[in-house]
Chains A and B, each alone.
Chain A
Amino acid sequence: MISGEQTPTQYIQHHLQNWTVGDGFWAVNVDTIFWSVLLGVLFLWSFRRVAKKSSAGVPGKWQCFVEMIVEFVDNSVKESFHGKDKLIAPLALTIFVWIFLMNLMDLIPVDWLPTAAMYGGYWLGFVDDPHDVYMKVVPTTDLNTTFALSLSVFALIIIYSIKYKGVKGFAKEMTFTPFNHWALIPVNFVLESITLLAKPASLALRLFGNLYAGELIFILIAMIGFWQLPAHFAWAVFHILVITLQAFIFMMLTIVYLSMASSEH
């Protein structure tokens, strides 16, 4: 939906602009925080309801559904991560469901929430011109979200490496692999550092890239007039796969990275 005075470029730019409060680094993307926290709370609230009532008796339908997801995550963790750890399974569950829900926002037609926000903001008197309101509803199309997740995982990788191998073991791994010779320590260090840093970068950029591209295509489809209806439907159906797959990949790679960090080579 393009309003009369907007060019396509302006339309796209408008859709890809966060609602930002503040300047410079200390600016905050309010829409990203709002939607992601809302979805995270929704996830925890709905799962907590099951957890409170959970018993070994005959489960209800919602309990069955939740248990299915929990068991799926638990199996994925058990397959890759050997040994006992209280954090990894709930971490994986949170990552999977939260990212899935955030990605799912992509399936809401691209104009609905931004338009509602525009006129809502205008009528409530926050802005003089509705076009000054920006609302990006898919938190995973914001690099801040994906990097927040991947940097947390990165911190855990380092914590697990040190916890399971010790500072010495971790340092040794950084300097004596892949070439086990003292003369090649600098080369090893550079190589290993790149490997290590590539993990959070690839995690964050993969998720961001997939969702940003998907969102962009939704926006482009929204500009083509009547034929946007079947096109939108087709792309949305395909996007369901992307949404689930990206959530799953992020979870799986987190588990794999942490199991690699906690086991000897």
Chain B
Amino acid sequence: MDINATLIGQTIAFIVFVWFCMKFVWPPIINAIEERQKKIADGLNAGERAQKDLEKAQEEIAEQLKEAKQQAAEIVEQAKKRGAKIVEEETQRGHEEREKIVASGHEEVTAERNRAREELRKQVAVLAVTGAQKIIEREIDKDAHSDIVEKLVAEL
């Protein structure tokens, strides 16, 4: 329990240990720790930034989606309007066409009728004359009564 030369030995040992620790142990370990701390801090920062970017992108996406939806709705609306207009126009044109066809049909029918009537009239005249001739052949002179027959034909 006395103080003796052990004190000197222990002091030397202590100094050597501290020197060794200062030279070969402390710097690499503390450097690694600090480097890792920096890495972790950077990583956390990057993560935070990515999170923010993601949020921003999501917001942008939502906005774009909204816009697209709006545009789509507008387009559909326009298409509907245009469709309705086309239908209306086509209906109108159809009507007109029908009218035209009907009108032309009428005209044709009328013309045909007139022609038929003319034909008929001529034939009736001929028939009447022929009939009258047959009757008159017996009674009347052909030359004496031709003016009457002609008057009759003109009246038809």
| Interface 9-residue window, one of A27-35, A213-221, A224-232 | A27-35
Chain B residues whose C-beta falls within 8 Å of the C-beta of A139 in the assembled complex: 10
CA distance A142 to B3 in the complex (A): 9
- From 39 to 69 in chain B, residues with beta carbon under 8 angstroms from any chain A beta carbon are 39
Q: Is A67 an interface residue (CB 8 A)?
A: yes
Q: Within A40-89, which residues are at the interface with B (CB < 8 Å)?
A: 40, 43-44, 47-48, 50-52, 54-57, 59, 66-67, 70-71, 74, 86-87, 89
Query: A52 vs B31: C-alpha distance in the bound complex, in angstroms?
Result: 12
| Chain B count of residues within 8 A CB distance of the other chain | 33
Q: Chain B residues with Cβ under 8 A from A40's Cβ?
A: 13-14, 17
B-side binding surface: helix, strand, loop or mixed?
Answer: helix
Q: How far is A148 from B18 in the complex, measured between Cα atoms in Å?
A: 13
Q: How far is the CA of A18 from the CA of B5 in the complex (A)?
A: 13
Interface residue? B30 (CB, 8 A): yes
Q: Tell me the minimal C-beta distance from B90 to chain A in angstroms.
A: 76
* Contacts A66-B29, A91-B22; A25 near B5 (Cβ below 8 A): yes
Asked if A93 and B6 make an inter-chain contact with CB atoms under 8 angstroms apart, the answer reads no
Contact partner of B28 among A18, A20, A33, A52, CB < 8 A?
A52
Residue contact B6 to A142, C-beta cutoff 8 Å: yes
Q: Which of A37, A93, A143 contacts B1 (CB 8 A)?
A: A143
Chain A to chain B contacts (Cβ below 8 Å), 29 pairs: A18-B1, A26-B5, A27-B6, A28-B4, A28-B5, A28-B6, A28-B9, A29-B6, A37-B13, A40-B17, A44-B17, A44-B24, A47-B29, A48-B24, A50-B29, A51-B28, A67-B29, A70-B30, A89-B26, A90-B21, A90-B26, A94-B14, A98-B17, A142-B6, A144-B9, A145-B6, A148-B9, A148-B11, A148-B14
Does A24 have its Cβ within 8 Å of any Cβ on chain B?
A: yes
Report the minimal beta-carbon distance from A155 to chain B, rounded to whole angstroms: 9
Interface residues of A (CB under 8 A from B): 16, 18, 20, 22, 24-29, 32-33, 36-37, 40, 43-44, 47-48, 50-52, 54-57, 59, 66-67, 70-71, 74, 86-87, 89-91, 93-94, 98, 139, 142-145, 147-149, 151-152
Contact residues, B101-120 vs A (CB, 8 A):
none
Known: A93-B25, A94-B14, A94-B18. 20 other contacts (CB 8 A): A22-B4, A25-B3, A28-B5, A28-B6, A28-B9, A44-B17, A51-B25, A51-B27, A54-B28, A54-B31, A56-B38, A59-B32, A66-B29, A70-B26, A87-B18, A90-B18, A91-B21, A94-B17, A148-B13, A152-B18
A47 CA to B20 CA in the complex, in Å? 11
Residue of B nearest to A153 (CB): B14
Q: Using Cβ atoms and an 8 Å threshold, which residues of chain B touch A48?
A: 20, 24-25
Query: Which chain A residues lie closer than 8 Å to B10 at the CB level?
Result: 32-33, 36, 139, 144-145, 148-149
